[in-house]
Amino acid sequence: MIIIMLGAQGTGKGTVAGLLSDSLGIPQISTGDIFRKNISEKTPLGIEADKFISKGNLVPDDITVPMVEDRLNWDDAKNGVILDGFPRTIEQAEKLDKMLSNIGKKVDMVINLVTPKEEIIDRMLTRRVCTNQDCKATYNVKLHPPKVEGICDKCGANLKQRADDSDPEAIKKRLEIYEEKTSPLVNYYQEKGVLRTEEISLSINRMGADVAKDIIEDLKK
């Protein structure tokens, strides 16, 4: 089963993807996480990608697409994956379709998360991530804080704010790029009949965990 997480920054893609991954037993593949791991390990890919990420720009396809293609060929991906952060443009979506059809697969479900703008910026500023690159759990100091402040519940490592989440200019740029380049994917997948839109908002008291639970129940039917 190939699932894609769609939705602007701060809507809860990572949270929903993580819950689905645990429950369905298929890996969550987050392009942002792969980039951050490479940046922290100072690999050639990381050094190159950081030039774009630190400014809030997209990493070019000649770096991103082969990286995803390689990841899809790992053994743990043979029963399916949850893609979180890819595709982000129509071109990437078309390249993904090609990649999948080469291995006899297709996109089965696209989960489009929608959250009011006012809540999004607040959530990005209060987001914290685990510094252990093999864990990468995410928290929110207001909405789902760790049990002990600054410490990951899952692995005990320190939590920190992502560099691009603390820079208001980078946040603004990323949201603009989402509107311009990524939001057209909603129509792209709607037309393919695989889109499922879910609202996540404090105003309706519906969070990522609620959405994940509903999707898991529907998949069992």
Catalytic residue, chosen from 36, 88, 95, 136, is 88
DSSP SS3 for 68: helix
**162 counts as catalytic:** yes
174 is catalytic: yes
Choice between 110 and 137, CB closer to Zn ion: 137
- Separation of alpha carbons 162 and 185, rounded Å: 26
Enumerate binding residues for Zn ion (CB under 5 A). Answer: 130, 132, 135, 137, 152, 154-155, 157
**123: annotated active-site residue:** no
Footprint of ligand ADP (CB under 6 A): 9, 31-32, 35, 52-53, 56-59, 64, 85-86, 88, 92, 174
Which residue of the set 36, 123, 127, 128 is catalytic? 127
**10, 120 in Cβ contact below 8 A?**
yes
Closest distance between ligand ADP and the C-beta of residue 148, in Å? Answer: 25
Q: What is the CB-side half-sphere exposure of residue 86 using CA atoms within 13 A?
A: 30
Residue length of the chain: 221
Q: Which residue is nearest to ligand ADP (CB)?
A: 32
Structure tokens at 132: 């252990």
- Quote the CA–CA distance of 175 and 182 in Å, as a whole number: 10
3-state secondary structure of 166: coil
Tell me whether residue 36 is one of the annotated catalytic residues.
Answer: no
206 carries an active-site annotation: no
Q: Which residues are designated catalytic? A: 13, 88, 127, 162, 174
